[in-house]
Structure 1
């Protein structure tokens, strides 16, 4: 029986993956913020006859302190973790800061993913075929850049720019992991599911919300179909320490988006920011 930890595990792709793997006989720890959605997942797991193999953990992953505490809790409760799916994300229309002084998209989309992989690496390396699946915007998308002098986007915040900065940062997180842990048994997969019908319209106000919902209905991939390539990767991890996919198309991880110098620069900056003395310093 494998143990999967899924952030964003009560919604969209995360929830669908949780239910799929529960039906396969795996154990799932779903991390989310909504108690109501957590109860809904647990009820569905019970209907599948998998209630004893499903756990919901409420956590605010935009908090670095909370993320570090979550990793410690998960290591204690699950000394062996086979799969870590990083799926927690929210499109932030306006700039908001966390209580620790970080821009919320950066905190949730970049810092939490970095900290969880760091914090759970030992537990993952105890598994026979461990894999990290980072659901992000990888795959040769030209949009987006890291604002090295203003990672918190205090100047001229735009939601799309914040999201695309996060996507580029996650490419570098994968590159940094491969460079720092070349002999690790963990397979780190960056995976872009593209346009999936997962509630993307929710953050918007009308009439934009209605337009996005219509576009999703017409063009988005249903979530049940969107998870199939992900479950295949989980079932048969790639040979390389780092790989990237845009749905089923393999992405070259030797390109400039995965520059090792930038990757080292980013992780050094993240370690600096998340050290107790570094919080709220930028």
Structure 2
């Protein structure tokens, strides 16, 4: 039996690192998709040490750059024919509005559009797996979210809650439409709320500002550890209990009913088309 292969985005810290370590412990070959080579290498050493596995590797991928995502996907496909698990974990919350290298507002750009493109570029190796699984880390913040079609990149009236909630609703809508489009394949797609986790999500990607603040927040008693926060993602990635489940939203390893606005098919389809246009999806890459 060949070793199963998993990709975890944002694998250099927090839930991404915890997910990497646990998947490696379970015998997966794990590719850590990280933006920073320095932080990625440090996390790789930690993951190898904690997991006891030698089957973990680092591949650079900046989800804030369409060019970087395309390079990563091409490099992966040149080296591997199959992909069993894709955990779209990376996420940001920006206190002030910032843009990706492609001019996207970072919340929607990294949390959704980057993962949207990455996932679609990896569909073929996922199809080639015995049972490919896509796991999207969303958040209960989707409940406060709205897709601001009139200003999706929040050029006017930006605030971090508005940005984050929109991007987490985007994760849910993406999950539902993708599951429908892949209904005739062996690939499942699910999303989850990890709970309130003390991670580095509020840290500025460029300056590191907020690192000490988030470290203190993570020590508060009502925050989950990254290991606890990662449990539902690991469950969706590995458990035989959800082998045939797709298009669902989970919390604490249990299927949850979505709020009405997240079930709006017309909004989800419109948003999918908008996403295709934003990442300049090529005809052969569309589902």
Normalised by the length of structure 1, the TM-score is: 0.88
Q: CA deviation at 1:197?
A: 1.9
Deviations 1:115-170 (A, max 9, x none): 1111111101111121111011158x531111001111001111110110001111
Distance 2:128 2:196 in 1: 34
2:95 alignment partner, one of 93, 96, 104: 93
2:252 alignment partner, one of 230, 247, 255: 247
Distance 1:215 1:198 in 2: 6
Distance 2:155 2:103 in 1: 11
Tell whether the 8 Å contact from 2:92 to 2:202 is kept in structure 1 after alignment.
no
For 2:32, what is the secondary structure of its paired residue? Answer: strand
Deviations 1:220-258 (A, max 9, x none): 111222223332222223423211112233222594303
Q: 1:262-277, aligned counterparts within 5 Å? A: 262-275=267-280
Q: CA deviation at 1:69?
A: 2.3
Deviations 1:171-200 (A, max 9, x none): 110111122222121111101101012234
Q: 1:4-153, aligned counterparts within 5 Å? A: 4-47=6-49, 48-51=51-54, 53-138=55-140, 141-153=142-154
Partner of 2:285: none
For 2:39, what is the secondary structure of its paired residue? Answer: helix
For 1:219, what is the secondary structure of its paired residue? Answer: coil
Q: CA deviation at 1:92?
A: 0.9
Distance 2:260 2:243 in 1: 19
Tell whether the 8 Å contact from 2:14 to 2:226 is kept in structure 1 after alignment.
yes
Q: Does 172-181 or 78-87 show the bigger shift? A: 172-181
Q: Does 197-206 or 33-42 show the bigger shift? A: 197-206
Counterparts in 2 of 1:54 and 1:205: CA distance versus 1, 3 Å? closer
Q: CA deviation at 1:45?
A: 4.2
Q: Which runs of 5+ in 2 are unaligned?
A: 283-287
Deviations 1:69-95 (A, max 9, x none): 222221222210000000111211111
1:257 paired with 2:258, answer no
Counterparts in 2 of 1:161 and 1:123: CA distance versus 1, 3 Å? same
Distance 2:262 2:34 in 1: 30
User: Aligned pairs, how many?
Assistant: 274
Distance 1:114 1:196 in 2: 24
Distance 1:104 1:142 in 2: 20
Q: CA deviation at 1:262?
A: 1.2
Counterparts in 2 of 1:202 and 1:270: CA distance versus 1, 3 Å? closer
Distance 1:214 1:261 in 2: 38
For 2:6, what is the secondary structure of its paired residue? Answer: strand
Partner of 2:181: 180
Q: Which runs of 5+ in 1 are unaligned?
A: 278-282
Counterparts in 2 of 1:200 and 1:122: CA distance versus 1, 3 Å? closer
Distance 2:218 2:18 in 1: 21
Tell whether the 8 Å contact from 1:174 to 1:242 is kept in structure 2 after alignment.
yes
